[in-house]
Structure 1
């Protein structure tokens, strides 16, 4: 049988990043937190927390923290029947999920708002590329994820949500400077463009599909969805943006769409662990409803 108070100390250290902040959250001293963590490690014969700035979980530590998350969600369902007993008195339950940045900047807040209005469970959202959020599930870091992977994850179910539609945009001044003679393989290949990070290949995909070329121009790295849009507006480079974010700027003439006839759709899925917890069901319902309103039908 696991020592859950000690496991809660491990989870708090990993979540907060230090023994001192974990102690403040748990309402005990840092020394008591350290004793609980060290005692559990000794009983299991394994290191659970790598001490550092911040502290991080080992593989076994992450597995046990994920187990604790599941236990807390299930306990949360039975807490009302205890009439304010020991489970009801515990810290607020947190549900850890992974979401890609563009979803978080567009349609996902509506899902979070629906969920927040229906439950007292907190969300702990991890940002990652949609092609990599499923890996967070496999590693046990989160209990659900918005992902571009339709392949099943063991112990989870995957639901199609729709597609986030992207358009290629540039500022009028940038277009006059770099595309005065039109958007050709030569001008597009030489024009500066934006990338979110090293895993962002949307610009390359658009250029290949729309013009049959491989991009070779200067790259500016902008790891923020809103910053990406701001840099496009000021003319640093051209880039691919969620259509819903740029529609007001296109209508106002602050941006122009490059090759309006060609857009990129990224199909998204909701992959959630098969845990029969009410909070996960409510979150899944909220995500599907928001996706139905904010995404386009996937082809």
Structure 2
């Protein structure tokens, strides 16, 4: 028997089953109206434009530091290209995790329901996104960076064992922070058209995924008892750290001629980049706090991830 507690005042009441499917129907209709095939909707034969950044320079982990000032214009451009490829590569890694989590979550549910059908639609989207990110790295002449060692193995463990609100909340940590980042990329005329096109597709389709995840989180958070809330907070705080700390892999810095150990220290101490992360996570952390998933001792983990 699952213990229950009184929900946080700001938390929405659990929606009945028919409302869950109503949301899914709306998302399915949106997907039918506006979805993309990156293989066809992006012109991969178009050459990269000279002198443009790989992503918004203000989002570089080294921007506004003395180390950034020491880089040549060519090094700055290459750094932003590789940082975008690293973020995308980590995105592929996490999308593989979330696809398996979602499949496991709906495994015992009725595929005739709109809820399961949208879950399958989301998985199809994520497959296309992963291929799109991989082709972007190929276009930039980079590899798709991914976490290694312990973090890679923890991802394997998490996709197998994650349950409850943290299953979908972990998806939001990755998607909502990157959503704000990519919206700025889309509007930045100093960024490669390829990056802007990739970001535009991702933002449009991830908006549906985030709505789906938020509804599931709010619904499941209602049933948490005190012990379960503490466990969910701890797991989610650890996941947030792994995601954020892995976005830009150290090899990126080495490939532009920097000492990776020095560059990682500078990046993590960069107040400008910390402010960008916190700003991007503001709506996310507010929502998760209302759901009871951020708070108590685990709040230290969110500060360590530089998201609060």
The bucket for the TM-score relative to the shorter chain is: under 0.3
* Larger helix percent: 2
* Larger strand percent: 1
Q: Taking CA–CA contacts closer than 8 Å with sequence separation of 6 or more, which of the two structures ends up with the larger relative contact order?
A: 2
TM normalised by structure 2 equals: 0.25
TM normalised by structure 1 equals: 0.25
The higher radius of gyration belongs to 1
